[in-house]
Amino acid sequence: MKKAVVLLSGGMDSVTLLHYVKQRLDVDELYALSFVYGQKHACELDMARWQADVAGVLEHKVIDISFFGELIHGSSALTDADLEVPDLDDVDEEHREQPITYVPHRNLVMLSLTASYAEALGATDVFYGAQAQDEYGYWDCTSGFVKKLNEVLNLNRVEPVTVHAPFTEKSKTDIVRLGLELDVDYEHTWSCYRGGDKPCGTCPSCVEREKAFCNAGIK
């Protein structure tokens, strides 16, 4: 593979993906793209920068789309100050399939922008860290979503970009195990949706992270 672009949030999944692409795939030029989209946990971007540097990416772009929070005002607890991020235990059955932490079409927006960047670079491969969620789910993190999105991108008449999401069938525990093999420094990743100084430990993302490390035998 000549050139590849990783969509990098700074969370444990996309960071593991970055190092996986770097170490396990034969890529000549590695690029990374991150977004400020009005998320409360913008501290993850510092982690993204740190990891991109460690992985030696040729260019890491951080794009400010913080207008996005305003565009989708009132619809997601990740971007709206008035909406509280629930503890995982407080996410009721009815909303498991699309919880309040879902951000409308965010992943499609980011992947579209990443495809734009890739096409302009002459890169045909984009990497996306979607993984198999155990506890709750988002339609835009599934392998079905990636497949259908690739059918759209494949209509491009010159050099279609393909989105690869090698972790869609992996649990977070599998990802941690892989990351440990790759010597990923998980101290420099951020998962907490609430974005205080320290991870809250009770939001869905914190709980999943802790479980994954626990299952992988790490405290």
Chain residues in the site for a copy of itself (CB under 8 A): 61, 63-65, 67-68, 71-75, 97-98, 104-106, 108-109, 112-113, 115-117, 119-120, 139-140, 142, 144-145, 148-149, 151-153, 155-158, 161
Closer Cβ to a copy of itself, 86 or 179, answer by number: 86
Structure tokens at 140: 């835009």
Closer Cβ to a copy of itself, 151 or 183, answer by number: 151
Query: Cα–Cα distance between 204 and 120 in angstroms, integer?
Result: 36
Q: Specify the pairing of strand 162-164 against strand 29-36.
A: unpaired
Indicate the helix (H) or strand (E) that contains 1: none
Query: Cα–Cα distance between 40 and 88 in angstroms, integer?
Result: 17
Query: Cα–Cα distance between 15 and 28 in angstroms, integer?
Result: 19
Closer Cβ to a copy of itself, 141 or 192, answer by number: 141
CB of 122 to a copy of itself, least distance (A): 9
CB of 49 to a copy of itself, least distance (A): 17
Structure tokens at 84: 């509280």
Closer Cβ to a copy of itself, 139 or 181, answer by number: 139
Nearest by Cα to 165 from 148, 181, 142: 142
Closer Cβ to a copy of itself, 26 or 94, answer by number: 94
Which amino acid, one-letter code, is at 198?
K
Closer Cβ to a copy of itself, 43 or 62, answer by number: 62
CB of 109 to a copy of itself, least distance (A): 4
Query: Cα–Cα distance between 119 and 197 in angstroms, integer?
Result: 37
CB of 208 to a copy of itself, least distance (A): 19
CB of 66 to a copy of itself, least distance (A): 11
CB of 177 to a copy of itself, least distance (A): 29
Query: Cα–Cα distance between 141 and 187 in angstroms, integer?
Result: 24
Positive or negative, the Cα torsion across 116, 162, 75, 85?
negative
